[in-house]
């Protein structure tokens, strides 16, 4: 019985490793022996919770950014874009395709145009980020927030870039692009001043405004996703905003090279 259990664990670990291989944007993971990478190709998109899925197949065009799918009876949503690859496209077709593509900011568009053309999806982006996707069908103007559909709210979060926005779905799931993530080492929400291209003070104020919204999940473009009780999440957002206002990102500093 113990041997069977060990074999089951080993097989599960091997499958996780093969998924990581497919998700790796730079092809930096390889395998030896008779591992069948194609066997896990149909695992993506991977369920996160409820209608939310992680797409995998991270693209080097978006610096390895994560992309997510939200299934919805009125039309599925893609948040940022992964590589355009046949196994994933086939799986997306099987679950109803993609009707909307929400782009958090200019860095993570990846193969958006190919997905938009294939699925006849409408692309949504802030005007300040429009040079990255000039053919976008929906352009967000002004200061927002914008109700894009029932249960889908775009919230402006300038800082990382001028027109950065996050998407709040069902007051539970916050797709944060490069604005916010989870620091697994410090076990807290974090943001990165090192990778802030527009204004760190504005990003701090954007962070503080997020405390006005209710959500349980942070699903970032880069970094680890996390689920916390809504009250704890709000407290974490407020703590991080105050740390950023003091001039830091509340993330442990890296040692000097």
pLDDT score of 69: 98
Q: What pLDDT, in 10s, does the model give residues 55-83?
A: 999 999 999 999 999 999 999 999 999 99
pTM as predicted: 0.86
**CB under 8 Å to 101, separation ≥6 — which residues?**
77, 78, 79, 81, 112, 115, 116, 121, 122, 123, 124
Backbone angles phi, psi at 194, to 5 degrees: -60, -30
Low-confidence ranges of the chain (pLDDT < 50): 7, 9, 17, 26, 28, 252-257
Task: Strands of 32-74 (E only): list them.
Answer: 46-49, 52-54, 68-70
In order, the DSSP letters of 144-157 are --EEEETTEEEEE-
Q: What is the Cα gyration radius of the chain?
A: 19
pLDDT at residue 247, rounded to an integer: 84
Task: Report all structural domains of the chain as residue ranges with CATH numbers, in order of start.
Answer: 11-24+45-245 (3.60.15.10)
Model pLDDT for residues 151-185, shown as the tens digit of each residue: 999 999 999 999 999 999 999 999 999 999 999 99
Structure confidence at residue 43 (pLDDT): 85
């Amino acid at each position: 019985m113990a041997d069977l259990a060990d074999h089951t664990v080993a097989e599960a670990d091997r499958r996780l490793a093969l998924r990581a291989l497919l998700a790796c944007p730079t092809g930096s993971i390889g395998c030896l022996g008779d591992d069948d990478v194609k066997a896990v190709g149909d695992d993506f998109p991977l369920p996160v919770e409820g209608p939310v899925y992680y797409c995998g197949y991270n693209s080097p065009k978006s610096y390895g950014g994560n992309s997510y799918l939200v299934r919805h009876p009125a039309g599925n949503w893609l948040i940022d874009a992964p590589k355009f690859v046949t196994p994933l496209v086939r799986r997306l077709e099987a679950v109803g395709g993609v009707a909307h593509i929400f782009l958090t900011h200019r860095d993570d568009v990846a193969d958006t145009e190919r997905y938009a053309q294939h699925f006849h999806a409408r692309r949504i982006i802030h005007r300040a980020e429009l040079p990255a996707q000039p053919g976008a069908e929906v352009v967000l103007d002004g200061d927002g927030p914008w109700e894009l559909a029932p249960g889908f709210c775009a919230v402006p979060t300038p800082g990382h870039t001028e027109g950065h926005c996050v998407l709040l779905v069902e007051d539970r799931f916050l797709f944060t692009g490069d604005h916010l993530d989870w620091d697994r080492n410090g076990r807290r929400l974090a943001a990165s001043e090192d990778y802030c291209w527009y204004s760190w003070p504005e990003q701090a104020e954007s962070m503080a405004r997020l405390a006005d919204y209710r959500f349980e999940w942070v699903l970032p473009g880069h970094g680890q996703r996390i689920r916390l009780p809504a009250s704890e999440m709000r407290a974490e957002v407020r703590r991080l905003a105050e740390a950023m206002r003091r001039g830091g990102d509340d993330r442990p500093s890296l040692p000097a090279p």
